[in-house]
Structure 1
C-alpha cells in the first residue's frame, strides 16, 4: 500500500471517528421520562410538602429512608464512605430517576459512592436547625449543650424525627470507623453544614 492509500485510509478513519463522536455527544444522559406528571421534587422540598404528598414514613422522607437502608446494608464497612464522591452524572441521573418515581434498584443499578453522594446533597427547606433561631445564634457561635437541648425541644416533631433517624444511622457509620474511616469528627464535617447552617 502506498503513502496515498494510507492517507486515504487515515482520512476515512478520522472522518468516521468524528461522526461517531458527534453521535455520542447527542446521546441523552438520562432515559426519557415516560410520564411527566409523576415527577415530584423530592430534593429540596419541605418536609410538610413531602408529608402532604404521602412521601414520608414515620416523619422520614421515603427517598432518604431508601438510601440510608441501602448504605446500612451494603456500605458501612466501605473505606471512604461519604469521602469518595460518586460520578456527578450518575448522582444527577439517580436523583432525576428517583424524582420521576421510577422504580430504582439501588443494589443492581447504582453504587455506594453514588448513593452516599446523593445523601450528602439531601436537604430540606429550611436546611438548618439553627436557621429558625437567628439572629440569636450565628454560624461559628459556641452553643452550649443546654441551649442545643432547648433548641431541639422546640423543633417541630417532623424535623426532630428526621434528625433522630439521621443521627441513628450516622452512629452505625461511626461504629464501623476502623473500616470506613468515618469518625464522629469526619461525619460532623460532612453532615454538619447541611444540618446546622
Structure 2
C-alpha cells in the first residue's frame, strides 16, 4: 500500500514537473534583445534615455564616426555597406552592447546603418501628419524666398524630438556637401538618398 502511494505521489510530481518544462522556454532559444532601437518612435527612445543631446544615440555615434572617417570617402551613402556587418551592428545596438564603429565596421556599412535607422522610423523624420502642409507651402509659395520662409516656419512646428534629429542630420549633411569633390555627393545626390527617409 505504501508502495502504491509513493508511486502515485511520484506520478503527480512528474506531471507537475512536466508542466513546468512545457511552460519554461527551451534553453536553445536565443536571448531576446533587451530593447528595441530601430523602428521605434523617437519619443520612446527619449523615454528610454537612448539619446545623446536630444538625438538618438545610434544616429549620434554613426554621424560622429562618419564625420571623422567618412567625409572624403567616395560614394558615401551611395555605395551600400556589407549587409552582414550592418545586421551585426543593429543587433549590438539593440542588445545594449558597446559598439566601436572604428573597429566594428567600415564607412559604407556605418552609412548604411544610418539609412536603415531613418528608413525604419515609424513616422519619418518629418511627421506624416505634417506632410500635407509641407507640400501645400511648397506648391503655394511664389518665390524661392517665400517658399524657404514658409518651410522654415513649418519646421519649427515639428515635435522637439523630430526637430533635433532633423537639425543634427542637416548640419552633418552640409559638411558632407563641403567635401563633394572627394565624396561625389552634392546636394542633389544627398536629397535623392535622404528625401524618402525624411518625407514619407
The verdict on a shared fold, with TM-score over 0.5 as the criterion, is yes
Give the alignment's TM-score, normalised by structure 2.
0.74
| Structure 1 counterpart of 2:197 | 194
Matched, 1:61 2:64: no
Q: 5 Å matches for 1:1-197?
A: 36=32, 39-123=34-118, 124-129=121-126, 131-136=128-133, 142=139, 144-197=147-200
Q: Answer whether contact 2:67 2:172 (CA < 8 A) is retained.
A: yes
Gap change, CA 1:135 and 1:80, over 3 Å in 2: closer
Please tell me the root mean square deviation across aligned C-alpha atoms, in Å.
2.1
Query: How much does 1:58 deviate?
Result: 2.0
Q: Which runs of 4+ in 1 moved over 3 A?
A: 134-139
The runs of 5 or more residues in structure 1 that have no matched partner are: 1-31
Gap change, CA 1:128 and 1:73, over 3 Å in 2: closer
Gap change, CA 1:146 and 1:173, over 3 Å in 2: same
Q: Answer whether contact 1:130 1:137 (CA < 8 A) is retained.
A: no
Q: Answer whether contact 2:127 2:158 (CA < 8 A) is retained.
A: no
Query: How much does 1:133 deviate?
Result: 2.4
Gap change, CA 1:134 and 1:171, over 3 Å in 2: closer
Give the alignment's TM-score, normalised by structure 1.
0.75
